Structure 1
Amino acid sequence: MKSQENFHILDKRNISIKLSRNLEDYPGGIVLVLDKPLKWTSADAVRKLKFRLQRFFNQKNIKVGHAGTLDPLATGILLICIGKATRAAETLQSEEKEYIADICFGATTPSYDLEKEIDATFPFDHIDQELVESLLENLKGEIDQIPPIFSAKLIDGQRAYDIARAGKDAEMKPARIKIHELEVISFNKPLLKIAISCSKGTYIRSFARDIGVAAGSGAHLTALVRSASGPFRIENALNMDEAERIFEIL
């Protein structure tokens, strides 16, 4: 990533280095590599840290944002952009992503994950390791993927999830995405754990739905970790407590 050298990166590798309280000492801004807590929205994480940042840098109007939304029921890398780094959020979120996904065959939900209750069940006894490997091979490459209705996609100025929660129908248009690599970590029927490397804009919930359909069954996502975003890796990400401690005023 060409712009990375302009940022001050905050992660586990430099957590012990004292941070200046003058934001101007970081002309390219700061990118904090956060391991987002389960059940938090990306906006929740920004709000929580912004309060600390306002006090630490003594700037009420400090700019804070995130690069790449992560669903509430997912954990893993969320890049928090601080100061002038917010200008590069779009560049940061365009990087390739890696995920560890847990998928359950035999049932579907309206949200394609555990946000909503199961709405249909399907046979899955016919699904074996050989079939899974074959399906994954066919799902690699560029594909047109339909986003979940319960998503932040904009439809005529409205968020898709607001339309869905109002009980209305919405036409979700397919988006061109690319699946680079798929690797089975474990398969204990009906549970599949896989590693996924993919392009920006890929919905892993939709991937779970699609593999269920391709298997002649149904499927939904039960857990998700974003393990990498561009050059940033989960093993270096800070949990929320660690991130907050960086901006403590002693």
Structure 2
Amino acid sequence: MQEEPYGEVFLINKPYEWTSFDVVKKVRNALKIKKVGHAGTLDPLATGLLIICAGKKTKSIDTYMAQEKEYTGTFVLGKTTESFDLEKEVVNVADPSHITLEEVKAAAAQLTGDIMQIPPMHSAIKVDGKRVYESARKGKEVKMEARPVTVSLFEITRFDNPEVHFKIVCSKGTYIRSLARDLGEILNVGAYMSALTRTRIGEFKLEEAAELNNLIAEIKARPHENL
């Protein structure tokens, strides 16, 4: 009787400062197979749910990537960075002390629904066959076209001026860093993202995810004859 080809899906809480590919590489080495990939990049400075597919389950990556995403995190008003997160140096823009919760909520409302969004220069999108972050790191300007995305929820969960704590539910391809930039522009004080956690992808929740070290230990303890 012929055995079914191996396939598995892992839900992982991506560690801070790890790239999504770092996690893929770690799982690939533990499984000792080549066919491993992730379903949706998380930036190194973000944490939270990362779906890793192995073996025949890699065919499902596009299906997982297309699903709705949920995030929580923090924006900081009055300052910005070249990458709109903490990857680049923070610079002052304007004093945000006059900004009210009502103004923040009104700005968030303008960024809710079907919107056109310009991705950040420091992103993995390809323009003319090259990833734009590679051009950005070389100091080259790349014209970024606005793309349609859907933000079905942009909730302000707490406002401790200058910190804006949020919960966002959005479609595939939405950049939370771009929402930080756009929120800062609407309020005329600038903003950047200081923290981000992905809490859900479709029906998969962060609470179901394994810590990476625990998962690797579990994989290494398995018999590998059937992989």
Please state how far the C-alpha of 1:88 moved relative to its aligned partner: 1.1
Query: 2:15 matched to which residue of 1?
Result: 37
Mapped contact 1:104–1:219 kept (Cα < 8 A): yes
Query: 2:131 matched to which residue of 1?
Result: 159
1-structure distance, mates of 2:149, 2:57? 26
Q: Which ranges of 4 or more aligned residues in structure 1 deviate by more than 4 Å?
A: 24-28
2-structure distance, mates of 1:26, 1:68? 27
Mapped contact 1:101–1:204 kept (Cα < 8 A): no
Please state how far the C-alpha of 1:173 moved relative to its aligned partner: 1.0
2-structure distance, mates of 1:40, 1:197? 23
Please state how far the C-alpha of 1:249 moved relative to its aligned partner: 2.9
Query: 2:210 matched to which residue of 1?
Result: 238
Please state how far the C-alpha of 1:93 moved relative to its aligned partner: 0.5
Give RMSD over aligned pairs.
Answer: 1.4
Question: Which of the numbers 36, 41, 46 marks the counterpart of 1:69?
Answer: 41
Q: Which range moved further: 139-148 or 121-130?
A: 121-130
Please state how far the C-alpha of 1:26 moved relative to its aligned partner: 6.1
Query: 1:149 matched to which residue of 2?
Result: 121
Question: Which of the numbers 175, 194, 202 marks the counterpart of 2:147?
Answer: 175
Mapped contact 2:158–2:165 kept (Cα < 8 A): yes
Letter in 1 for 2:38: H
Letter in 2 for 1:50: R
Letter in 1 for 2:60: A
Q: Deviations over 1:67-123 (max 9, x none)?
A: 000000000011000111111101110000000020000001000000000234212
Letter in 2 for 1:92: Y
Query: 1:110 matched to which residue of 2?
Result: 82
Please state how far the C-alpha of 1:62 moved relative to its aligned partner: 3.4
Query: 2:225 matched to which residue of 1?
Result: none
Task: Tell whether 2:111 aligns with 1:135.
Answer: no
Letter in 2 for 1:115: E
1-structure distance, mates of 2:97, 2:4? 57
Query: 1:11 matched to which residue of 2?
Result: none
Structure 1 residue ranges without an equivalent (≥5): 1-23, 55-60
Mapped contact 2:31–2:220 kept (Cα < 8 A): no
Question: Which of the numbers 14, 25, 46 marks the counterpart of 2:24?
Answer: 46
Letter in 2 for 1:126: H
2-structure distance, mates of 1:29, 1:248? 16
SS in 1 for 2:210: coil
Mapped contact 2:118–2:178 kept (Cα < 8 A): yes
SS in 2 for 1:47: helix
User: Counterparts of 1:80-119 in structure 2 under 5 Å?
Assistant: 80-119=52-91
Could you state the TM-score of these two structures normalised by the residue count of structure 2? 0.94
Could you state the TM-score of these two structures normalised by the residue count of structure 1? 0.85
Count of residue pairs the alignment pairs up = 221
